[in-house]
Structure 1
Amino acid sequence: MTYPITNIALIAAALGSGLLAGVYFAFSTFIMQAFARLTVDQGVAAMQSINTTIVRSPFIALFLLTAALSVFIAVMAMLYWRGGTSILMIAGAALYLVASLLSTMVFNVPLNDALDKVDGRTAEAAQLWSTYLSDWTKWNHVRTVASLLASCAFVRALF
């Protein structure tokens, strides 16, 4: 049993991490593959456009709100320990904060920043694009699985 405010946070965090898992899943399963089929300059331009657009979209609010909710959930789990429920709450929060948020900041964002600095028509861009496609997608797989598992842990903590 959890407090009503914690239940609301769990529901919101489950929805947020689930929605984010869906976005990441789309990128991992078909968007990046579609970009790989484009010429280097087209692929780089498309990803640069996404990277510019996403920071001004509701995605960022959802991404950061889910992080804040995860912190709140972890704190509530520790302050009001309830055995298995608290473990699930902490697990969901850790999965989201470490494997989704932190991996984004440490791996995906620096790759995006590097890509943003190149002209897609250069040899440098061709080399970077090849590495970017594999490395960015690999870390996106991590975010996908972590966000989905976090969502599952938050939902399970409600029951």
Structure 2
Amino acid sequence: MTALTRPLALISLLLASALFGFFYAWVCSTMWGLDAADPRVAITAMQAMNASVRNAVFAPAFFGTSIACLITTIALALSAQHTAAVWFGIATLLVAVLGVFLTMAVNVPMNEALALIEVPADIEEARQIWMAYSTDWQIWNQTRTIATGLAVLCIGIAFLKMKRA
């Protein structure tokens, strides 16, 4: 099992980093850009982005990170690398609960509700819709960004605690 721990840990690191980077990009560019745009354009663009994110490129990072981290946690525990396993376990929980579950429980329903909205021609009506959506969505996105960033940090700490082969 020891021979598998490093490759599993690297796969977990790659997936967790991809997920963190995805959420982080929304924090520091995408949502600020949409907030600065005409709200009718912002609504239309967000509807299109939310529809396009359900794809085979994003799925491994979103659905696979928790699984990879859990498998790595188990492999480390079975290899008597308990300290590293604990750090991977924390990363697993952060990704599973505050990354994936939070997204499915909060952000996805918000996205689905926005998808049902017909973009109003009136800019003020569109602005009210967009700002109500964007403000709440960004709070939850920042939460999952911080959580997945902490998961990447935990994985880094786990690497420092792993025994050399």
TM-score by length of structure 1 reads 0.87
1:11 alignment counterpart: 10
**Equivalent residue, structure 2, for 1:157:** 158
Q: Which residue of 1 aligns with 2:103?
A: 104
**Rounded Cα–Cα distance in structure 1 between residues aligned with 2:73 and 2:132:** 36
Tell me the alpha carbon deviations over residues 2-54 of structure 1, each in whole angstroms, 9 at most, x when there is no partner.
Answer: 72323222111111111221121111112101101122211011001101111
Cα gap change, 1:122 to 1:6, in 2 (>3 Å):
farther
CA-to-aligned-CA distance 1:66-113 (integer Å, 9 cap, x gap): 122123234445555533222111111111111111111111111101
- For the residues of structure 2 that align with 1:100 and 1:43, how far apart are their CA atoms? 24
Counterpart check, 1:142 vs 2:143 = yes
More deviation, 132-141/148-157? 148-157
Give the aligned length: 158
1:129 maps to 130
How large is the RMSD of aligned CA atoms in angstroms? Answer: 2.1
**Kindly tell me: are residues 60 and 109 of structure 1, through their superposed partners in 2, closer, same or farther at Cα, counting changes over 3 Å?**
same
Give distance in 1, aligned partners of 2:146 and 2:97. 12
* Cα distance, 1:158 vs structure 2: 2.2
Residue pairs, 1:60-139, within 5 angstroms: 60-77=59-76, 79=78, 82-121=81-120, 126-139=127-140
Q: Give the 5 Å matches for 1:24-39.
A: 24-39=23-38
Identity of aligned residues (%): 25
Give the aligned residue type for 2:30.
I
Q: Structure 2-normalised TM-score?
A: 0.84
* CA displacement, residues 101-138 of structure 1 (integer Å, 9 cap, x when unaligned): 11111111111011100011167754432121111111
* Counterparts of 1:122 and 1:8, CA distance in 2: 53
Cα deviation for residue 56 of structure 1 reads 2.0
Q: Is the 8 A contact 1:73 1:93 kept in 2?
A: no
- State whether residues 99 and 146 of structure 1, in contact with CA within 8 Å, keep that contact through their aligned partners in structure 2: yes
Match of 1:119, SS state, is coil
Gaps (5+ residues) in structure 2? Answer: 161-165
